[in-house]
């Protein structure tokens, strides 16, 4: 039986814990203690109240549970490195990590700094929390797993099989960097605009915002080209990126995007992990990024007002 520690008991962390618990020894780690019994609502609407093993970071240091086969980091992008730093004294440096963050900030930094294998996961599983003791698995998706330098294919395959067995369909891939940047491109076109304007994703299709989406995608498409990230669906540059963004807007029209949820809750957003790598790349390649920089500045002002 494999042993999984899940660092960050947000929606994806708790969904992972619920899914893995029946087939693997699983421990959910966070700063705060959680109720021992946790409710999972399935996409079909079934409710399961299950005991989940959870520990605070402070308890971990003294209780020393069995060492993990994998440590999943499921915090927000900006918190991943400090969360890892909080447990490094409790695990061997050879422990495989699995990074579930949005954007492209934590992944290259932790891959470079951590001596052991670092896998990255990108998922379209939909989940949200309903409080300290509940998570709703809102929609089934797919998870792709790989590492940035394609050095740990067998480990990625083992993890993909475990996740699939746990009911979270997953595939090992050799192009996780491409997939992370593709998701980042879509997030950059949707998240800042909806967060700054307090609207659901679908409203971006309206006259008030559609032109701004096109402006963002123009800059993003040029940056993707410079980064060697293939346009989606074997398409052509800007048009293909725009088509993907409109498709995601359509599919998630009723969603309150994660960045809007952060702004509403007065939490720091993931702008540093989504807009940050794009702006850094544009500057490195001498490309225009006034629109992206403008969005980042506006979000920084909003965050400063919290
Ligand atoms: O991933 C998303 C998010 O909310 O972060 C999008 C694609 C914008 C859907 O809401």
Reported as a single tens digit per residue, the pLDDT across 136-152 is 999 999 999 999 999 99
Kindly report the protein residue whose alpha carbon is nearest to atom 4 of ligand 1: 257
Q: Indicate which atom in ligand 1 lies nearest the CA of residue 191.
A: 8
Residue nearest to atom 1 of ligand 1 (CA): 187
Residues belonging to the active site = 183
Q: Locate 111 and state its tokens.
A: 């891959």
- Verify whether ligand 1 is closer than 6 Å to residue 191 (CB atom): yes
Q: Is the CB of 244 under 6 A from ligand 1?
A: no
Q: Is the CB of 252 under 6 A from ligand 1?
A: yes
Out of 194, 255, 270, mutate this one to test ligand 1's pocket (max ligand atoms within 8 Å of CB): namely 255
pLDDT 10s digit of each residue in the chain, 306 long? 899 999 999 999 999 999 999 999 999 999 999 999 999 999 999 999 999 999 999 999 898 889 999 999 999 999 999 999 999 999 999 999 999 999 999 999 999 999 999 999 999 999 999 999 999 999 999 999 999 999 999 999 999 999 999 999 999 999 999 999 999 999 999 999 999 999 999 999 999 999 999 999 999 999 999 999 999 988 889 999 999 999 999 999 998 999 999 999 999 999 999 999 999 999 999 999 999 999 999 999 999 999
Kindly give the distance from the C-alpha atom of residue 218 to the centroid of ligand 1, in angstroms, as a whole number: 19
The pLDDT score that the predictor gives to residue 65 is: 86
- Which two tokens mark 220? 């993003």
* Secondary structure percentages of the chain, helix, strand, coil, to 5: 50, 20, 30
- C-alpha span between 51 and 278 (Å, rounded): 41
CA of 201 to the centre of ligand 1 (A): 8
Residue of 55, 67, 75 lying closest to 3 (CA atoms): 67
Two structure tokens written together for 76? 């927000």
CA 251 to ligand 1 centroid distance, Å: 10
pTM for the full model? 0.96
What digits encode the pLDDT tens for the residues 58-86?
999 898 889 999 999 999 999 999 999 99
3-state secondary structure 218-270: HHHHHHHHHHCCCCHHHCCHHHHHHHHHHHHHHHCCCCCCHHHHHHHCCCCCC
Phi, psi of 267 (to 5 degrees): -100, 155
């Amino acid at each position: 039986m494999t042993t999984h520690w899940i660092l960050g008991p947000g929606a994806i962390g708790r969904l992972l814990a619920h899914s893995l618990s029946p087939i693997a020894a699983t421990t959910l780690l966070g700063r705060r203690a959680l109720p021992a019994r946790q409710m999972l609502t399935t996409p079909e609407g079934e409710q399961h109240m299950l005991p989940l093993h959870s520990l605070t970071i402070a308890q971990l240091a003294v209780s020393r549970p069995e060492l993990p086969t994998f440590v999943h980091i499921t915090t927000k992008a900006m918190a991943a490195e400090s969360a890892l730093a909080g447990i490094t004294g409790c695990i061997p440096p050879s422990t495989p990590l699995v990074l579930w963050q949005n954007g492209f900030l934590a992944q290259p930094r932790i891959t470079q700094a951590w001596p052991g294998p670092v896998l990255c996961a990108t998922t379209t599983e939909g989940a949200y929390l309903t409080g300290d003791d509940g998570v709703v698995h809102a929609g089934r998706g797919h998870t792709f797993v790989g590492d940035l330098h394609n050095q740990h294919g067998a480990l990625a395959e083992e993890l993909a099989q475990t996740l699939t067995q746990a009911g979270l369909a997953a595939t090992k891939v050799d192009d996780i960097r491409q997939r992370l940047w593709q998701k980042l491109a879509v997030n950059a076109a949707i998240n800042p605009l909806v967060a700054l304007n307090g609207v659901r994703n679908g409203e971006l299709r309206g006259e008030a915002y559609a032109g701004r989406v096109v402006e963002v995608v123009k800059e993003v498409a040029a940056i993707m080209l410079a980064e060697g990230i293939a346009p989606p669906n074997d398409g052509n540059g800007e048009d293909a990126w725009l088509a993907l963004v409109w498709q995601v807007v359509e599919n998630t029209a009723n969603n309150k995007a994660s960045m809007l949820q952060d702004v509403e809750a007065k939490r720091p957003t993931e702008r540093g992990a989504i807009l940050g790598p794009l702006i850094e790349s544009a500057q490195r390649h001498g490309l225009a990024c006034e629109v992206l920089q403008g969005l980042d500045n506006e979000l920084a002002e909003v965050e400063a007002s919290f």
